[in-house]
């Protein structure tokens, strides 16, 4: 997984992994919402909780970039300033769309009505479409500049800040979501490269079971291919 790192000071492949996770989660979450049966409030509650977790994770991811990345990047690479402005604008659009998503989610959770379901699905799909454009622009227009202007130590600060916002009890599930877009071989290579042995063992012994239990809850009729 990830891009081939250009000659520079830091490796940004971890950002591509995070982006792939959000693409994967949102791509599957929209159908999950659309498939809620009218009147099934138990199922609606499960789906709404999942969507809210994605939304909160996306908000935290963007807030980390807003706080730790854009100002420094624009100062170090003035030629990138227009691209940074685009990133800020797209983040603001996503934030507005996430805020607009909350009311339909609340209505779906309370009523499980067909109207609330459809409103929530449409609102979530708007987030997905905007995010797809944003992630592609960030990968093409921002990460090449980051690789030549940030040291690895500085880049790692962003990663640690992002990880610190994940609740500890959800870390293994989040790890499973990160590896979901990967092939089995890619996932094995990624964990060997990025996780210390104790963490790999804990995921194999405990974390993977937590993640699979999450999938069974979300997809009781089977995980889509």
Handedness of CA 23, 25, 28, 34 (dihedral sign): negative
Q: What is the reported pLDDT for 8?
A: 64
Please report the pLDDT score of residue 9 as a whole number.
87
In this predicted structure, what is the pLDDT of residue 225?
Answer: 75
**Tens-digit pLDDT string for the chain (225 aa):** 333 344 468 999 999 999 999 999 999 999 999 999 999 999 999 999 999 999 999 999 999 999 999 999 999 999 999 999 999 999 999 999 999 999 999 999 999 999 999 999 999 999 999 999 999 999 999 999 999 999 999 999 999 999 999 999 999 999 999 999 999 999 999 999 999 999 999 999 999 999 999 999 999 998 987
| 218 phi/psi in degrees, rounded to 5 | -75, -35
CA-to-CA distance for 57 and 174, rounded, in angstroms?
A: 10
DSSP letter for each residue of 74-111 = HHH-GGGHHHHHHHHHHHHHHHHHHHHHHHHHHHHHHH
CB 25 within 8 A of CB 141: no
Closest CA to 2 of 157, 190, 163: 190
DSSP class of residue 128 equals H
Which strand (E) or helix (H) includes residue 14?
A: helix 13-34
**pTM of the full structure:** 0.93
């Amino acid at each position: 997984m990830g891009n081939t790192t250009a000659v520079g000071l830091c490796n940004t492949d971890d950002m591509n992994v995070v982006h792939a996770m959000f693409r994967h989660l949102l791509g599957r979450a929209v159908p999950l919402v659309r498939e809620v049966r009218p009147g099934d409030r138990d199922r609606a509650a499960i789906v709404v909780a999942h969507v809210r977790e994605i939304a909160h994770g996306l908000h935290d991811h963007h807030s980390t970039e807003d706080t730790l990345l854009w100002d420094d990047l624009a100062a170090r690479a003035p030629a990138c300033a227009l691209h940074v402005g685009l990133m800020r604008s797209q983040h603001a659009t996503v934030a507005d769309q996430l805020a607009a998503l909350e009311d339909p989610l609340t209505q779906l959770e309370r009523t499980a009505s067909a109207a609330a379901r459809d409103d929530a699905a449409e609102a979530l799909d708007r987030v997905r479409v905007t995010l797809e454009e944003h992630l592609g622009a960030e990968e093409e227009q921002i990460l090449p500049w980051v690789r030549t202007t940030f040291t690895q130590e500085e880049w790692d600060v962003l990663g640690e800040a992002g990880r610190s916002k994940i609740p500890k009890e959800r870390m293994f599930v989040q790890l499973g979501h990160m590896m979901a877009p990967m092939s089995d071989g890619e996932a094995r290579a990624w964990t060997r490269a990025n996780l210390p042995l104790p963490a790999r063992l804990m995921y194999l012994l405990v974390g993977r079971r937590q993640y699979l239990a999450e999938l069974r809850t979300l997809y009781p009729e089977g995980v889509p291919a």
